[in-house]
Amino acid sequence: MSWTNFHTHTTFCDGHAEPVVFVEAALEQQLSVLGFSSHAPVCFPNRWTMNPARVRDYHREIMRLKELYSGRIELYCGLEMDYFPDILGDCQSLYAGVPWDYKIGAVHFIGAFPDGSRWCMDGSGEAFREGLHTLMDGDFLSAVKQYFALHRSMVQEMPVDVVAHFDKIKLQYRPGDKGGAETDAEYRRELLLTLDAFEASGCVVEVSTRGIAKGNLDDFYPGSWVIPEMARRGIPVTLNSDAHRPWDLTLGFDRAAQALYASGYREISVLRAGGWQMVPFGPDGLML
Ligand SMILES: [Zn+2]
Ligand SMILES: [Zn+2]
């Protein structure tokens, strides 16, 4: 039995250790496959995405480690790419021409301020509230609708292997917001529509334990209630922790594997031997 993880961030973006430290930690935590997914550069100033000047060095370093650790662990070099409906080409030109092993698609930015700066869903609560009031008239449900609509267009316009943490906006909900709570019927309707789009696109959707590892959410992305809905649609899943620290590589995986199994999943999608494969799993890991 072993685990895999395709969503990790090192010092090439906003992670807290160099890639080699992650590889050593992965070996200690019984991973048989480890993927690196630095935040792809974006075409505007931003502090947590990769510097465009480091893209080639990042790829070269993971390729060096792949060679060095060959036979002990399978390593892959990917990106976590942001989706933008308006500036996608300009951003993609910053990381084109590199043979990435896989691509994770994510929506962190859900709008732009009048001065052109971007509204981020995944930063501080204050920054999110500023956008909510300036751009959405304080209406959280409108932000939720925009966020899920961006995911639906992402899987049509920007083909990716895996969709990241697609309900992470729930973390920004505050009691007193009018609508948009995870338990609200309107929220659930938007989310389920998004699952239909994922099903149609054939992408893999990650179940992320990032909230459990970080200690700010006692559930997964997407939430536990979503997993049976994904199973019912036959949407393939992979198990990730969005690790920014080497010791977060498998935190919460046993719990997530149990939730997946209880929802009817018997296989998890894994990039292995150069292609995405379905691998049987149990509560203690994948049968690898
Ligand atoms: Zn992300
Ligand atoms: Zn990430």
Q: Convert the pLDDT of each residue in 63-80 to its tens digit.
A: 999 999 999 999 999 999
Ligand nearest to the CA of 169: 1
- Residue 108: nearest ligand to its CA? 1
Percent of the chain with pLDDT over 90: 98
**pLDDT reported for residue 178:** 85
Residue type, 228: P
* pLDDT beyond 90 at 286: yes
For residue 50, report the distance from its CA to the centre of ligand 2, in Å: 12
Ligand nearest to the CA of 15: 2
Q: What pLDDT was estimated at residue 8?
A: 98
Report pLDDT digits (tens) over 200-212.
Answer: 999 999 999 999 9
Q: Report the pLDDT averaged over residues 122-128.
A: 94
- Distance from the CA of 8 to the center of ligand 2, in angstroms? 6
Q: Which residues contact 153 (CB under 8 A, 6 or more apart)?
A: 83, 85
Tell me the per-residue pLDDT of 136-193, one tens digit each, with 9 for 90 and over: 999 999 999 999 999 999 999 999 999 999 999 999 999 999 899 999 999 999 999 9
> Among 55-59, 176-180, 267-271, which is the least confidently predicted range?
176-180
Ion ligand 2 residues within 5 Å by Cβ: 80, 242
Distance 174 CA to ligand 2 centre (A): 23
Q: What are residue 134's phi and psi, to 5 degrees?
A: -75, -40
Mean pLDDT of 34-46: 98
Cα 261 to Cα 24, 88, 132, 249, 257: the distances in Å are: 29, 37, 37, 20, 6
Q: Of the ligands numbered here, which is closest to the C-alpha atom of 123?
A: 1
> Could you tell me the residue ranges of all domains in the chain?
3-286
pLDDT at 257 over 90: yes
Instruction: Kindly give the residue spans of alpha helices, DSSP state H, lying in the chain.
Output: 19-28, 55-68, 88-92, 125-136, 140-157, 185-201, 210-214, 226-233, 253-262
pLDDT for the residue numbered 274: 85
pLDDT, tens digit, 9 for 90 and up, residues 151-161:
999 999 999 99
* Centre of ligand 1 from the C-alpha of residue 15, in Å: 12
Q: Write down the pTM of the prediction.
A: 0.97
- Looking at the CA of 37, which ligand is closest? 2
DSSP state of 81: E
Cα dihedral 221, 29, 257, 108, rounded to 10, equals 10
* Cα–ligand 2 centroid distance for 134 (angstroms): 26
Ligand 2 center from residue 267 Cα (angstroms): 23
For residue 222, say if its preceding peptide bond is cis, omega within 30 degrees of 0: yes
Q: Any bridge partners for residue 2, and if so which? A: 286
Burial code (b: 16+ CB inside 10 Å, e: under 16) for 45-67 equals ebeebbeeeebeebbebbeebbe
CATH 3.40.50.720 is right for the domain spanning 3-286: no
DSSP lists the bridge partners of residue 272 as: 275
Collapsed DSSP state (helix, strand, coil) of residue 279: strand
Report CA(82)–ligand 2 centroid distance (Å): 10
Per the prediction, the chain carries an average pLDDT of 97
Q: What is the DSSP letter of 218?
A: S
pLDDT at 10 over 90: yes
Measuring CA to CA, how many Å separate 190 from each of 18, 134, 220?
38, 23, 18
The closest alpha carbon to 202, from 171, 235, 230, 169, belongs to 235
Q: How many angstroms does the Cα of residue 80 sit away from the middle of ligand 1?
A: 7
